[in-house]
Structure 1
Amino acid sequence: MNLSTAHDTHTAAQALYDWLRPHRRVFVLTGAGISTDSGIPHYRDESGAWQRKPPIDLRAFVGDARARSRYWARSFVGWPSFSGARPNAGHDALARWQQREPDHALVTQNVDGLHARAGSLEVVDLHGCLDEVICLDCGARQAREALQQELAQRNPDWVGLDAAALPDGDADLQGLDFDRFHTPVCAQCGGMVKPDVVFFGENVPRARVAAAQQSLAEADAMLVVGSSLMVYSGFRFARAAREAGLPLALLNRGVTRADEIATLKLQADCGATLQAALA
């Protein structure tokens, strides 16, 4: 069965319920679309195109002091909204489903940590989480919330600025002098720190890829929720699933990179559909 459009939640939920029913070990991959109901916006529109400029890449962050200042200023202003996001119906439905049937595996491309906060088990955060920062020189780690307090003390003029939230926990700031923003350094060695997430141009750590691949090897089906799969780090699992002969279902508003190889495509609200299908 291939359902390209679901006109209402009931239709989509019933189709997903019927598709899931025979499978005992489902590999679930989630993307930004599952977190929009928590107030974290999409990266891309329904055609798969960027809705705004792509996030900073690793080379610019490490090699360009002004780009780094701009990143941290935007991150500082955006962090209160991002850290205040709460799990929504989609996160909660997947967590309850996993708790009832723990053989299902969950891998996410998101960096918001909302699956773990909802109670999901052994989540593989493919791209890391924004709630920690790491020193690129000595490897020391620090909680992002503690860093926020340090940045507030060093940058009092930036406290309380209001700006639209962006998907990576930063904010849309225009026309400001980013050179005035004091960027953080490692408290242990004075080295450069960055969020413990995978930037563009940076490889996903091998251990995370291996953990996801092992879960996929043990699965009998794959479900993608809220991802266009335009980034290869996620698409490769969909392609591997189909090469292994596994059924592949997509729950996403808009096109995905795997539309041509899916066995079920549902264009419907992620949270409401999961809540109804997994009840």
Structure 2
Amino acid sequence: MGLLDARATITWFQRASSRFVPKCNPATKNDIQTLHAFLRSRPNTLVLTGAGVSTESGIPDYRSKDVGMYARSNHRPVQYADFLHSPEIRKRYWARNFVGWERFSATQPNATHHALAQLEQENRIKGIITQNVDCLHSKAGSKNVVELHGNGYTVICLKCDYRVSRDEFQDTLKEANDDYEEITAASIRPDGDVDIKPEYIWGFKVPSCPSCGGPLKPDIVFFGGSIPRSVISKTEEMVSTSDGLLVLGSTLLVFSGFRLCLLANELELPLAIVNIGPTRGDHIANLKINAKCGEVVPPLLHIQE
């Protein structure tokens, strides 16, 4: 990426960081103090993050009122069964992902990601389970991170154990489509793909697995797909050995995240939620803060005991 492209990307993220965040009242000093008290008495708190943490980095979510992808377009994420059985859908997905990758992979952590990394380093939280596929927690320096739905930075074969980095696969896609007209992505989606014209998809070539010839897929749990049993077991263990659960930026409408809240409730562990608007877990939460994560979490680092 050239200097001008890098500057354009930075400018785009600066604009998008507010464009994709729903309107809400500013966080109050009491909100911050209350969350601080929650964590101070529970240093073994586990954090569950959703798309609302990454919207402030310029990655839209699906469901937010007025600004989410569902509110702004007819786009719906690809279904796993469709991707698995349809070469045309795989071609469409990879063409869109190819165009959007440079911008998606250039996304940088925001203040909430960095604050969580520091809270972990200071042993003030146990670790993070994230529903996001953008790797922003790892980019920010968090170590104990479990990606509930995988991530977009690895590509896997659906028939064998072949794996390759998404950056390397981008080079492979470029070589296979060396006559492909360069397109600038107008905006990205939560899963990293973009809208492009049908004529840009028709001739797009998607390489098969170099080991077995099978179809390649990002290591993401698509809608309708199943979370690996090993990941489920790991997250359940993390909840059961914690002393509280803090949800950041998630409506909890996807059951894989809500299930962890139900487990915490079953174990009689306290539950705190920071999210703009209602969530599926509000009725079992001990604490609910209706605010931007970026206005509540980073200030925790500066509270004097």
Q: Is the 8 A contact 1:66 1:178 kept in 2?
A: no
Alpha-carbon distance between aligned partners in 1 of 2:99 and 2:200, rounded to the nearest angstrom: 14
**Which of 197, 219, 237 is 1:214 aligned to?**
237
Residue 164 of structure 1 aligns to which amino acid in structure 2? S
Alpha-carbon distance between aligned partners in 2 of 1:158 and 1:16, rounded to the nearest angstrom: 50
Q: 1:117 maps to what in 2? A: 139
Distance 1:83 1:7, change over 3 A: closer
Q: Is the 8 A contact 2:153 2:165 kept in 1?
A: yes
Measured after TM superposition, the shift of residue 158 of structure 1 is: 4.0
Q: 2:262 maps to what in 1? A: 239
Alpha-carbon distance between aligned partners in 2 of 1:9 and 1:84, rounded to the nearest angstrom: 32
Residue 14 of structure 1 aligns to which amino acid in structure 2? Q
Alpha-carbon distance between aligned partners in 1 of 2:165 and 2:28, rounded to the nearest angstrom: 39
Deviations 1:185-227 (A, max 9, x none): 1122221100011111111111111111111111111100011
- Count residues with an aligned counterpart: 275
Question: 3-state SS of the aligned residue for 2:152?
Answer: strand
Q: Is the 8 A contact 1:6 1:12 kept in 2?
A: no
Q: 1:14 maps to what in 2? A: 33
TM-score, normalised to structure 2, is 0.85
Q: Is the 8 A contact 2:180 2:204 kept in 1?
A: no
Runs of 4+ that moved beyond 3 A: 46-52, 174-177
Alpha-carbon distance between aligned partners in 2 of 1:163 and 1:46, rounded to the nearest angstrom: 21
Deviations 1:157-201 (A, max 9, x none): 242333221110111224435231111311222211000111111
Residue 48 of structure 2 aligns to which amino acid in structure 1? L
Q: 1:84 maps to what in 2? A: 106
Distance 1:177 1:86, change over 3 A: closer
**Which of 134, 138, 162 is 1:140 aligned to?**
162
Q: 2:55 maps to what in 1? A: 36
TM-score, normalised to structure 1, is 0.92
Alpha-carbon distance between aligned partners in 2 of 1:219 and 1:46, rounded to the nearest angstrom: 32
Alpha-carbon distance between aligned partners in 2 of 1:160 and 1:13, rounded to the nearest angstrom: 43
Identity %: 43
Deviations 1:124-175 (A, max 9, x none): 0111111110011121001100111111222232423332211101112244
Alpha-carbon distance between aligned partners in 1 of 2:25 and 2:37, rounded to the nearest angstrom: 14
Q: Is the 8 A contact 2:156 2:216 kept in 1?
A: yes
Measured after TM superposition, the shift of residue 49 of structure 1 is: 8.9
Measured after TM superposition, the shift of residue 267 of structure 1 is: 1.2
Q: 2:286 maps to what in 1? A: 263
